[in-house]
């Protein structure tokens, strides 16, 4: 399955009625692609390929995802999305679900995502402590200071990494659509890991919106409406997830309020 995300976002799906049956839209032409997103094509165009996903994670959809090819700010956002999902699930008492997401800052499998981050102040020991606590079966409440410190470290890295917030958010919207299309089959969550990742990327997009020198009007509302399509506080798979078309339409709404790509 090759998903042509940027076509969907570029066409402005927000003009379509929410909840329409867009899940059958794997092919849609090539127009409307923002030129500056060409560097993401090889990184995000094949995420839907294959079963089984990343080694050691058991998540479908990321086996073909060349994260190493991303610019550092987007690579950091990608890793942060996994971490946000993992921390939220851990705090919700779902340690087993959380564990695979929290591999990204610590495992050798995901070392490429972290390239260049040490120079910006990435503190691997914080994430190693969290992983150790998970392995030991400790409750999140016992290590809340470490969880907060890990999130603070990622926030600091985001500021130091720089990058165009609009470009990063566009990348995250593309990735959300890819992940969500993998996650949902016939109206049900069939790949919880990808469902949770998509939520994490939406949360990170909201964080990146704080990095604009002049925040676009409507960006907060658009992102809050996107995040509201998942359960509150943690992306625990519900019996009735938001339709794929609704998520796609809302990601398009987010893109529509961003500054025009140069």
Which pLDDT score is estimated for 59?
41
CA distance 178 to 220: 22
Q: What is the mean pLDDT of each run of 10 residues along the chain (262 residues)?
A: 38 38 37 38 40 39 62 96 98 95 89 92 95 95 96 97 97 98 98 98 98 96 98 96 98 96 72
- Helix or strand holding residue 189 (H, E): strand 188-189
Q: Report domain extents, the chain.
A: 5-256
Query: 0.95 cut: is pTM over it?
Result: no
pLDDT score recorded for residue 83: 97
CB atoms within 10 A of CB 249: 23
């Amino acid at each position: 399955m090759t998903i042509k995300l940027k076509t969907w976002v570029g066409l402005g799906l927000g003009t379509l009625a929410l909840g329409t049956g867009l899940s059958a839209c794997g092919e849609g032409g090539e127009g409307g692609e923002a030129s500056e997103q060409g560097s993401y094509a090889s990184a995000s165009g094949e995420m839907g390929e294959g079963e089984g996903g990343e080694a050691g994670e058991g998540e479908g959809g990321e086996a073909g995802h060349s994260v190493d090819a991303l610019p550092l700010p987007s690579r950091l956002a990608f890793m942060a999305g996994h971490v946000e999902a993992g921390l939220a699930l851990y705090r919700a008492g779902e340690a087993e679900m959380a564990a695979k997401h929290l591999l990204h800052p610590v495992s050798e499998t995901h070392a490429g995502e972290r390239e260049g981050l040490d120079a910006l102040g990435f503190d691997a020991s914080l994430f190693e402590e969290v992983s150790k606590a998970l392995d030991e079966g400790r409750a999140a409440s016992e290590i809340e200071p470490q969880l907060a410190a890990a999130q603070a470290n990622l926030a600091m890295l985001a500021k130091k990494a720089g990058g165009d917030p609009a470009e990063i958010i566009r990348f995250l919207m593309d990735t959300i659509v890819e992940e969500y299309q993998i996650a949902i089959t016939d109206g049900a969550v069939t790949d919880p890991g990808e469902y949770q990742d998509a939520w994490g990327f939406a949360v990170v997009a909201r964080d990146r919106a704080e990095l604009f020198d002049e925040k676009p009007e409507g960006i907060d509302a658009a992102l809050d409406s996107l995040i509201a399509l998942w359960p509150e506080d943690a992306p625990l798979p519900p019996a009735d997830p938001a339709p794929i078309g609704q998520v796609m339409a809302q990601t398009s709404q987010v893109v529509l309020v961003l500054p025009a790509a140069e």
